[in-house]
Structures are given as structure tokens and as C-alpha cells.
Amino acid sequence: MPPQMVASKVMSPVRNLEFLVIGAGVAGLRAAVELADHGSVLVATKEAMAESNTWYAQGGIAVASDDEGDTRLHLEDTIAAGDGLVYRAAAQVLVEEGPQRVAELIEWGARFDRDRGRLLRTREGAHSRPRILHANGDATGAEISRSLIEFAHAHPRIQFAEWTTATALLKSGNQITGAQLLARDGTTLTLHARAILIATGGAGQVYSETTNPPVATGDGIAIAAEAGAYLADMEFYQFHPTAFALHGAPRFLMSEALRGEGAYLRNQKGERFMERYHPLLELAPRDVVARAIARESIGDDGEIYPAFLDLRHIRNIDLHQRFPGISSFLAQHSLDIARDLIPVLPAAHYLMGGIKTDLDGRTTMPGLYAAGEAACTGVHGANRLASNSLLEGLVFGARAARAMLCDTPSSDLRALDESFSAPATTSTNGADTSTSLAQLVPQLRHSMWNNAGLLREESTLRTGLTQINSITNAIEELAGHAAPSRLLAEARSLCCVASAILNSALARTESRGAHFRTDFPAHDDAQFAAHSIFSLQNAVHTERW
Ligand code: SIN
């Protein structure tokens, strides 16, 4: 769990708000810092500041080294991993602007691991070179989070609203003008802002097996879709190959950097199996490794048995020192990183799709911007290259902020509507709603894992859709009577995200990257070398960009 950082500087009440940033991971904070030099910013986040997917990122941040050739190679690696769907212009922005954004972050106080002053770089899957910076061994996201939180906290024009959930966007015509927020005590607050950025991260909680923390319920994606914004590429959910897999233990991430440092993958028979799947063996693209593990883990009796990470042969580094977080997690489960086989299975990890944006975070609704995992620029295509996500947050967070400044002149400063309202009184009591949600949400998550997981086909996707529709109806029924609550808002978000994933996956009758259809196992470039666009109003269609 991240420490409870920054609780003092909270909104109460907010005045003269110009920009609202929803989400406090790397993309939201980087944007807030850029915006705050020009106007007042409120960063609203659902829990304490550090509780985000960013904080839990382990392996590192991929960034081209000084060598000019490495920028080109980083671009090529990103495009190759994305399996024919990376939007080249977005990847170019990422690799070209990345080094400057990281240098700036170091200036602001981020401390990456070094050897005699020189930044250490490791390798991960599908990278042609070691270019991944890391911090405190395997706690890179936590260090990036810490440094950005401290930097943002020092800025007089940034305020924070912790434990605050965004439940809806407000619009006038097609223009997004504000948001409705729900505080921990149940009060609702309507805010109007010059521009709003959604940086709420991913939605791993839509699956029963995930490396993501409980906050990752796709709220920003759902409220944007509800307001009419387009989503893109929602069928592409990345399953990390190696989440810890011991009965009863959390699905803690076993970083890809373990394989970058030489870890082998073995099946239950003790065989190294990756040679049957890809010439890059354990460092093949993530979708390939995840599917290989899924295949190898089916026992003769049809049951699922974990594969293993094996680091026992590694002698050139001190594994406890290089991976202190993983090592201490394993010790809690009586396993030694250097001596024991580590049981692993894939789990939902990262959403390549999200709110459709241009290269500057503009969504399809004026006034609404998105960046980071909540957004889809097409930078990752069908399969994200390892450790490109923290870089994406930095680069596209900064770009979205610049677009927000430039698109909305300061004379647009909106009056605040400080309409604090008491929670509505209703006929259903909160305990009944929580009990019902405690049954419905796990049903949704299991249905998604069983029907829209690593391998899917028309029949499973249709089953999933039927189940999700019925769960959605039950949740909407509850919402009709219940007081607004974070649990309810999250359940509704998960329904929306699940529906977008299922519909987009049904429409893509081919396999590509993280989306593998057993009934259409090959690429169909003629029809599908294109991005899927989902909206609540229209059927899924494709666009080429
Ligand atoms: C990891 O450490 O394996 C995660 C890195 C990533 O998701 O890019």
C-alpha cells in the first residue's frame, strides 16, 4: 500500500477553479504541473494521492538513451510490439519527447537507480536494447509518484481533493463544462471549469484476475462515454504474463524486469517452453508470452496449473537487492527469489484502449481532454511495449495540458457553482445496496475473465454480453433507489467498460495483439488494420489513423 501522502492541502471550498484534473497518477500530475503555471488547478482523486496504477508500476520507464539511434530503435520496437496497429505519429511523439520529459522529472527530484552517477538501464520484453530506467530496484512507479506529488504539492495554484469520485460530466450542447464529484461523506459537488482532463487510469478491476489496485475501475472512461465521447480500441486489454499465482495470495506483479535480468519460464514439467512460441523466448512481446503461459498452464485434467519464473541460475546480480519489493513480498509467502520457483499466471494489467484522443489529449467532446491509460492515442496499438506507459503519462499529460491552455482562453474562466448538496434520502438503505453490489460486481468480473479474457470467441463474447447486460440492469435498478455512493459509481463504470470491451471484441473478427479470437486466429489486415471506435449511441465502427 502506498503511504498516505499529502492530506493537508485539500479543497474546502474551491474558488476560482480554472482547470479540473481527474486522477492523480503520472498523467494527471504531470498535466497539473503544466497547467498551474497559467491557472488554478484542482486535482480530484478517489483515494489518497498516491493510490494509483502509477504507484504500483514496478519494472520501469522506457526511454531512449542519448544515442540518437536509440530513439529510432525505440520507435521501431514500439511499432513492432503493437502488432500492426500503432499510430506512428503518436509513437514518434512518445519516443522523441520522452527523453526531455524524463530529464525534467529528474530535475524535479525523481531519483532513478545509478551506478557511479550513470543511469542504469535494464531490458524488458520486445525491447532491442536495455533502455528501461528503474528506481529503488522495482519501485519505479512509486518514485515517480512521490516526486510528482511533492512537486505539485509545492505549487501554490494546485489544490487536491482526495477521496473524491467523479460521477458525471456536465455539458452544454456538445461542450463539456464541468463535473459532478462525490466526496467520501456522500456530499456531491458540481464544479465548472475552463477545461477538464480525465487521467483516471485503467480498469483492471473489470476482470477477476488483475494486477491493478481496487481503484482501477475505469470511472473516467465511463463518464466520458456517458457524456458522448468516443472510446477507441477497447478490445485490447493487456494481460501481464507473470502475476503471482498462489492460492489465496494477491495477484502481485512479478515484474517483466525479472525476465529482463535473465529469469526463465518453466511449465509444471520443469521445461523451458518459450522456444516453442517465439525466437525472443522469455523476452517475446507480452501478448505472446501471456498466451504461451495460458496454454502451458492447462493440465492433462483440464485444470489450470501455474507456470514458474526461475531465477536460480542468476549469479551476476544480487536479486534481493535488485528486486527488494518482489523479494520481500515473496518472503511473506515463504519463497526466496533466488532459490525457489515462483508460481505465475497471466492477469489483466493495462488497457491499450480508452477515450479516443488526438495527439494533444483532445477527446471528441470540446472542453474534455484525456491522457495516460484512460486515453487512447493509438500509441500502443494492439499490444503495449513494456514500460512505455509511465512515459506515455508524462509525455501526453504535458501535451494535453498545453492544449487545454491553448484551446480555452483565460477569459473563459467559469463561475463556480458551489452546490454542495446533502446526500439524497432514499428508500433503499446503504447496507442493502452494498450487499447487492458485493454480489453483482464479482459476477461481472468473473464473467469478463471467463468470456473476454486472453482467448475469446463469438460464443463466449455473446455469453458475456448477455450476463453483463443483466448485471447492468440489476445495478441500474439499484441506482434508481439508492443514495449516490462510490461503490455504486464504480459498479456502473465497470458495466460501461465491460460493455465497451465485449462489443468491440465481438466486432473485431480477427486476432491481433492482446485480442485473440480462437474463431478468427489470424490477422485480417484488409478489414482490421484499423482502430475500433465505440460509443454508447452507435454500433462499433473502424477508423484508420
Ligand atoms: C512490469 O514491471 O513488468 C510492468 C511494466 C509495464 O507494465 O510496462
User: Is the CB of 188 within 6 Å of ligand 1?
Assistant: no
- Ligand 1 atom having least distance to the Cα of 254: 3
81: Cβ below 6 Å to ligand 1?
no
Distance 224 CA to ligand 1 centre (A): 27
Ligand 1 atom closest to 140 (CA): 2
DSSP for 34-46? HHHTTS-EEEE-S
Range 216-220 contact pairs with CB under 8 angstroms and sequence separation of 24 or more? 216/53, 217/490, 217/493, 217/494, 217/497, 218/351, 218/374, 218/493, 218/494, 218/496, 218/497, 219/46, 219/165, 219/166, 219/167, 219/489, 219/490, 219/493, 220/22, 220/23, 220/166, 220/355, 220/370, 220/374
Q: Residue of the nearest CA to atom 6 in ligand 1? A: 387
256 lines ligand 1 (CB under 6 A): yes
Q: What span, in angstroms and rounded, lies between the C-alpha atoms of 517 and 452?
A: 10
What separation in Å is there between the alpha carbon of 232 and the centre of ligand 1? 22
Per-residue pLDDT of the chain (545 residues; tens, 9 = 90+): 665 544 344 444 455 589 999 999 999 999 999 999 999 999 999 999 989 999 999 999 999 998 879 999 999 999 999 999 999 999 999 999 999 999 999 999 999 999 999 999 999 999 999 999 999 999 999 999 999 999 999 999 999 999 999 999 999 999 999 999 999 999 999 999 999 999 999 999 999 999 999 999 999 999 999 999 999 999 999 999 999 999 999 999 999 999 999 999 999 999 999 999 999 999 999 999 999 999 999 999 999 999 999 999 999 999 999 999 999 999 999 999 999 999 999 999 999 999 999 999 999 999 999 999 999 999 999 999 999 999 999 999 999 999 999 998 775 445 444 443 444 444 556 778 889 999 999 999 999 999 999 999 999 999 999 999 999 999 999 999 899 999 999 999 999 999 999 999 999 999 999 999 999 999 999 999 999 999 998 889 999 99
For the chain, list the domains and their CATH numbers. 20-235+352-425 (3.50.50.60), 242-346 (3.90.700.10), 434-523 (1.20.58.100)
The CB of 387 under 6 Å from ligand 1? The reply is: yes
Q: 59 CB under 6 A from ligand 1?
A: yes
> Active-site residues: which are they?
286
Mutate to test the pocket of ligand 1, among 26, 54, 58 (most ligand atoms within 8 A of CB): 58
Pick the atom of ligand 1 nearest to 386's CA: 8
Q: 145: Cβ below 6 Å to ligand 1?
A: no
